[in-house]
Structure 1
Amino acid sequence: MFKLSVSFALFGLITATQGPCDECNQVSAALRDRIVQDGSIKMQIGLLSSRVCPSLDDPDFCQEMLNEHWLDIARVLHPFNFSPPKACERTNVCNGLITPIVREWTCENCLAGTATLQKFFKLDQTIAESISFLKGESFCGKREKKTDDCNGLVEKLMPSLLPGLAGILGARAQGFCTDTFSVC
C-alpha cells in the first residue's frame, strides 16, 4: 500500500510540474490526431488548392495532385511529423531554450503551442525529412506504379505544401484550441 501511495504521489508531482515540452507534445499529439481525420484532410485539400496552388508554376497540376494523392500523403505524413516529441524538440521547446510558463491550458498558451508547430512545418529539416520519408516505402514505395513520377511529385510539391499547412494551422488555431482543449 505504501508503494502505491508513493507512486500516486510521484505521479501527482510529475503532472503538477508538467513543463513546456510535455505541453507541446500534448498539442502536437492532439493536432496529429485531428489532422488525419477524413474531414480535416478534405479541408486541407481545399485550402491548399486555394491558397498554395495558385502561387505555383502549374496550379492545375498542384490541384490535380492534391485531389488524387493528398488523402494518402496526409495519412502517413502527419503521424510521421507529429509523433511526439519530434516537432517540439526541433522547435527548441524540449531542449530548455524556452522558459516554462504554462501551468494550465489557456487560449494564449494553446495559440502559442500552435505557433510553435507552425514554425516546425517551415523548417528546412522538416521539409527535407518529409520528402525523404514520402519517397520511401511509406508512400512512393507502396504505389502500384513504382516510378520516378511519385518521387518527382513529392519533390516538386512538398516544399510549398508544408509551409502552406503552417498557414492553415495559423488561420485555424483558435478553432483547434477551442475544439481540442475547450479554451478560446
Structure 2
Amino acid sequence: MKSTLIFSIFLTAIASIEGSCEDCLKVFTIYQDAVLSDDIVRTQMFYATAFACPSCNPYRPIDECECAEPIYHFWPTLVQALYPVFLQPQRVCSTILKCSTDEFTCEDCSSAFETLAGNMVYFDSIAERIEFLKGENYCNEDEKCVGFIDEYFEIIHVGLARFVTSFLNECTCNPPVL
C-alpha cells in the first residue's frame, strides 16, 4: 500500500512537469529516491521472487521457498549499489533523452521510462550491470554474491523491466488522484 502511495506521488509530479532538461533531472531524482525507498525495495523483492521463483508463492513466508532466500538477502543492498549509478538522473536524462533545452513534456517523460525499461532488457545493458555488480562495486569477489548475480540477476532484471513498463504505460500521464 505504501509503495502505491509513493509511486502515486511520483506520478503526480511527472504529470505536472512542463519545461526543460532541468525538469527531467528533477523527475528522475524523485524516481531514483522512490525506487530506493524501503517500501519500493520490498515491492521489488516481491516481484523479483515471482519472476525468479515461479514455483514459489511470493505471498508465503520466504523460509518456505529456498529460491527466495538469496533474493531477500542480496536485493536490498544490490539496489543501493546499482541504482545510484545506473539510474543517476544526469546519466538517464542525457543518454535516454539526449537532454537539451527543449521542452520536456509528460509524454517525453513517459517515453523516457519506456526507453529506460526497454534498455534494461538489452543483453549489453544486462551484461554491463552484471559486471558492475560482480566487481568491486558490489560483490567484490564474494562467491555467494557472484553466484546470486549469475543465477538470478538477468531474470529478475528483465521481469522488473516488464513490470515498470506496464505500470508506467498506464499511469504516467494520468496519475491516480490522491
TM tier, smaller:
0.5 to 0.7
State the distance in 1 between where 2:55 and 2:27 align: 30
Bigger relative CO (Cα 8 Å, ≥ 6 apart): 2
1:163 aligns with 158
2:40 aligns with 40
2:61 aligns with none
1:82 aligns with 87
- Asked whether the 8 Å contact 2:24–2:104 carries over to 1, the reply is no
1:137 CA displacement: 2.2
State the distance in 1 between where 2:165 and 2:135 align: 29
- Asked whether the 8 Å contact 1:90–1:120 carries over to 2, the reply is no
State the distance in 1 between where 2:40 and 2:173 align: 15
Amino acid at match of 2:53: C
Query: Could you list the per-position Cα deviations for residues 121-177 of structure 1 after superposition, in whole angstroms to 9, with x for gaps in the alignment?
Result: 112222112111111223212xxxx64222121122111111112122123325566
State the distance in 2 between where 1:176 and 1:61 align: 36
2:10 aligns with none
1:23 CA displacement: 5.5
Question: Which protein is bigger by CA-based radius of gyration?
Answer: 1
Gaps of 5+ in 2: 1-17, 57-64
RMSD: 3.3
2:29 aligns with 29
Query: Could you list the per-position Cα deviations for residues 53-77 of structure 1 after superposition, in whole angstroms to 9, with x for gaps in the alignment?
Result: 3189xxx454221111111111111
State the distance in 2 between where 1:88 and 1:79 align: 14
- Asked whether the 8 Å contact 2:32–2:84 carries over to 1, the reply is yes
TM-score normalised to structure 1 length:
0.65
Greater helix content: 1
Is 1:63 aligned with 2:68?
Answer: yes
Gaps of 5+ in 1: 1-15
